[in-house]
Amino acid sequence: MATPTSEESLNYLYSLIPKGIKLGLKNISTVLDALGNPQQKSPTIHIAGTNGKGSTGAFCESILRNAGYRVGLYTSPHLINFSERIQVNRIPLSDNEMTKLIAKVKRTTEKINTPITFFEFSTVMAFLHFAKHETDLNVIEVGMGGRLDATSLCKGDISLITSIDKDHTSYLGNTIQEIAFEKASIIKKNGTVFASKVSKEVHDVIKNISDQKSANAQFLGEHFNVKILKKNKSFPLSITYRNQSVFYKDLELSLLGDFQASNAALALSACLHHALKTGKVISEKSIRKGLKNTSWAGRMEVISSYPTVLLDIAHNPAAVKKMAKSVQKLFSYTKLIIICGIMKDKQSDEILKELTNFADHIILVRPNKERSESPARLKEILKNYNVSCEVIENIPEAIIKAKQNALPNGIVCITGSIFTVGEAKQHLINEPDIKINFSHSTGLHLNG
C-alpha cells in the first residue's frame, strides 16, 4: 500500500472534525497508554484562560529558548497551516513528520478500537513529537476549559491562568464561577499556579482549588507585579517586573497592546519558578532577549502599511474591548475600517456592540467555515447602532475595498475569529507588494 501524502494525511485528520468536541479523558488516556505515555516524558507549563493563552505561551517559549532550553510549544487553533500547532524551538512540524505522526496515531486508534476527536488526535501527535525530540520543557495551551481538556494529561506542576471571561458557555457553564472552575482545574496537586488579575469571584475559585490540591497560588498584584513604564513613545512597550526575589526594569515587549504586560509577567513568573525549582539559572540577558523577540502571529499584528493593516483574533467581547483600547492608544489615524467575520457560537451582539464604539465603517464577511455566522444576520444586529456597515462575504474582496477606502493614513483592522484572520493573512502574504515582519519603527502611524 502506498504511503499517504501529507495532503491525504491532513484530509484524514480534518475528517475527524465533524465528530465535534468531546470533553473527557477516557479515550485519549487509552490511546496515550497504548503509545507508551509520551506525555510523561517532559515537564510542562500548562496554560488556561479565555484570552491571552497564546501570547503568554509565546513569551514563555521565547524566554526559555533564549535561555538554552529545547522547548515544545503546542497551541490551537492554527492560522494558516496545521503544523503551526506543534513546534520545537519554534520550528513547526515538517510535512514528513506530520504524515508519520498521523499514520502512527491512526494505526494505534484502529488497533485498540478507540476513536478520538480531532483535538485529541492533535494533542497525542504533540506529545509524541515532543517525546521524540526530547524537549526539556513543553509549553502547552489548553484547547477549551481545562478540567476535561485533552492537554490536562500533561506532566508538570506549573499552571498559568490568564484572564477569564465568558466564552464557550454551552460547554463550560453560564456563570463566571463555573467557567473559572473548569479552567482552574488544570492546577496540579502540590503544584504552583500563577494567575492574572481577576475578579474576587474568580480569585476565590482559584484559591479554593489550590487549597484543595495543596498547591501554591500566586496572583498578579499580590505575589508578583508588573508596571508599564510611561515613555514618550508607545512602542515598544516597556515594563518593570518584580516578585519576592527579583526586580527587572525596562523590559521591552515586542507584542503590541498594554494587556501584554500581564501576559509577559505570567510567563516570566513561570520560567523563573521552573528554573528555581530545577536548580537552573535563567540570565537577565535571556529574559530581556526572550521578551523583546517574542512573536505571535494574528495578535495585534501589523502586516502592512499605507494604510496600516492590523490583524487581531478578538473573538469575544473582552478581547474586542482590549483591542479597541490598544488601537486608540497606539495609532494615529484618519479612518478606521473593521473587517469582521464571526462564528455562530460566539457572542455576536456583544462583539459588534464593542466594535461600533471605535469603528468608522464595518465590513461583514463570511469565513470559509461551516460554523461561520451569516453576515446578513450580523448586519441586522448593527441596525441597532449608528455605524456605517456593508456585507462583502468574500474576505479578499473585502480587504481590497477596505484598503482603497481607508486611504494611506487609515487603518484596516481584520478581526472577529481566528478563521477570519487566517484567511486574510493567507491572502495578504500572497500580495506581491506586502511587507511581512516589517520594522515597527517605520511605516506605522503610532501615537507619541
pLDDT 10s digits, 411-423? 999 999 999 999 9
What CATH superfamily is the domain 301-429? Mur ligase, C-terminal domain (3.90.190.20)
Alpha-carbon distance of 295 to 301, in angstroms, equals: 9
How high is the pLDDT of residue 3? 78
* Selected residue with higher pLDDT from 143 and 236: 143
Average pLDDT over residues 107-115: 96
Q: What percent of the chain has pLDDT over 90?
A: 75
Assess whether pLDDT exceeds 80 at residue 132. yes
The tens digit of pLDDT for each residue in 167-219 reads 545 556 568 888 899 899 999 999 999 999 888 999 999 999 999 999 999 99
CATH homologous superfamily of 6-292? Mur-like, catalytic domain (3.40.1190.10)
| Largest pairwise CA distance in the chain | 65
Higher pLDDT, 215 or 24: 215
* Mean pLDDT confidence for 408-435: 86
Q: If you count them, how many residues does the chain have?
A: 448
pLDDT at residue 145 in the model: 73
The pTM assigned to this predicted structure is 0.91
Q: What is the pLDDT of residue 1?
A: 57
Predicted confidence at residue 330, as pLDDT, reads: 87
Collapsing DSSP to helix, strand or coil, 10 comes out as helix
With b for 16 or more beta-carbon neighbours within 10 A and e for fewer, the 17-33 pattern comes to eeeebbbebebbbbbbe
50 contacts 167 by C-beta, under 8 angstroms? yes
More confident residue, 136 or 172: 136
Q: Phi and psi dihedrals of 22, rounded to 5?
A: -130, 105
Coil, helix or strand at residue 337 = strand
Residue 404 pLDDT exceeds 90: yes
Residue 80 banded pLDDT, cuts 50, 70, 90: very high
CA angle 280, 209, 190 (to 5 degrees): 35
Q: Where are the domains of the chain?
A: 6-292, 301-429
Rounded-to-integer distance, Cα 21 and Cα 15, Å: 13
**Residue 235's pLDDT is what?**
62
**Does residue 436 surpass a pLDDT of 60?**
no
pLDDT in tens, 287-342: 999 999 999 999 899 998 899 999 999 888 988 998 999 898 888 899 999 999 99
Q: Phi first, then psi: give them for residue 365, nearest 5 degrees.
A: -125, 170
State the pLDDT at residue 172: 61
Q: Taking 50 as the threshold, does the pLDDT of residue 435 lie above it?
A: no
* pLDDT of 367 over the 60 cut: yes
Q: What is the pLDDT of residue 286?
A: 98
* Residue 405 pLDDT greater than 70, yes or no: yes
- Mean pLDDT value across the chain: 90
pLDDT, tens digit (0-9, with 9 covering 90-100), for 36-70: 999 999 999 999 998 899 999 999 999 999 999 99
CB 188, CB 213: distance < 8 Å:
yes
d(CA 185, CA 161): 10
pLDDT value at position 147?
A: 83
Contact between 298 and 422 under an 8 Å Cβ cutoff? The reply is: yes
d(CA 353, CA 355): 5
Q: Which residue has the higher pLDDT, 166 or 223?
A: 223
Higher pLDDT residue, 361 or 18?
361
Give yes or no for residue 134 having a pLDDT over 90: yes
Mean pLDDT confidence for 395-415: 94
| For residues 388-413, average pLDDT | 95
- pLDDT value, residue 165: 76
